[in-house]
Amino acid sequence: MSTKEWPLWEVFIRSKQGLNHKHVGSLRAADSTMALDNARDVYTRRSEGISIWVVESNYVHANDPADADAYFEPSDTKIFRHPTFYEVHEDIKHM
């Protein structure tokens, strides 16, 4: 026995003012109102959040993990992007 499934939603929760929303998991719901209500019941039963975003999972695009090494390589080789790359005279303060 099977029926057409409700769409899958990804759930993001802001735990308190000043912090960003963070992915916590997913759930199925017929529409966004139901997805929000279910997210509240499933993911915030112990004051874990003060704000919820739900996004239909089809709208999430991701890079291919198989190519991740090459994809992120440019940032690994540019060590001059980090302040520790530069020599500063030890008498210099506040820099």
Tell me which residues touch other proteins (CB under 8 A): 1-6, 8, 25-28, 30-31, 34, 41-42, 45-46, 62, 64-66
- β-pairing, 51-56 with 8-14? antiparallel
Q: How far is the CB of 31 from other proteins (least distance, A)?
A: 4
Phi, psi of 49 (to 5 degrees): -150, 160
Toward other proteins, which CB reaches closer, 60 or 88?
Answer: 60
Q: How far is the CB of 86 from other proteins (least distance, A)?
A: 32
d(CA 37, CA 88): 55
d(CA 31, CA 36): 9
Q: How far is the CB of 83 from other proteins (least distance, A)?
A: 28
